[in-house]
Amino acid sequence: MTDTATEFPPVPDLAWSADLLSGDARMDDTHEAFVARLAELRATPPEQQLPLYRALIDHTVEHFAQEDRWMVATGFAADNCHASQHQSVLETMRAVDTHFQQGDREIITRMAEALAEWFPQHARTMDAGLALHMQSVGFDSRTETLADPSRVRPATMSGCGSVSCS
């Protein structure tokens, strides 16, 4: 622990729990894996973090690509604000990798704390909203198909990749 670490209250551990459920089982499987990887990373000392952190980035690339694909399949424009938030989180995660290699040994720890604060909000708003939207248009996330494709007009929704934020 450094002195600066005592200036702010520590970010509590993030554990998987029912209040993170989005309403879509495949999305929740991905989210549960994300939370488990993040907890493992936060329990790992800095000198051993890089492989786990890179695996978390790879997992997050797939996690976000999956949701971005579902948004497009259910009528959102590709550049909606939910997809944009995914992009900016990934850019930050990659920049942290670079800074770590340049010698900032605490930066992955700080990023992991930031992700533990960010994720519950994102899951409860943008992701839960997307899950609700997918249900409302009859989209099956396991098969990535629409029960009735005529209910979705491609790229007609710009909002936030979900029904509840704009």
Binding residues for Fe ion, rule: CB under 5 A, are: 67, 127
Contact 148, 138 (CB under 8 A): yes
Contact 50, 83 (CB under 8 A): no
State how far the Cα of 104 lies from the Cα of 124, in Å rounded to an integer: 32
User: Which lies closer to Fe ion via its Cβ, residue 67 or residue 113?
Assistant: 67
Tell me how far, at minimum, the Cβ of 19 lies from Fe ion, in Å.
15
User: Which lies closer to Fe ion via its Cβ, residue 107 or residue 123?
Assistant: 123
Tell me how far, at minimum, the Cβ of 105 lies from Fe ion, in Å.
29
Tell me how far, at minimum, the Cβ of 54 lies from Fe ion, in Å.
19
Nearest 10 degrees: CA dihedral of 150, 151, 155, 161? -150
Q: How far apart are the first and last CA of the chain?
A: 40
User: Which lies closer to Fe ion via its Cβ, residue 100 or residue 141?
Assistant: 141
Q: Which residue's CB comes closest to Fe ion?
A: 127
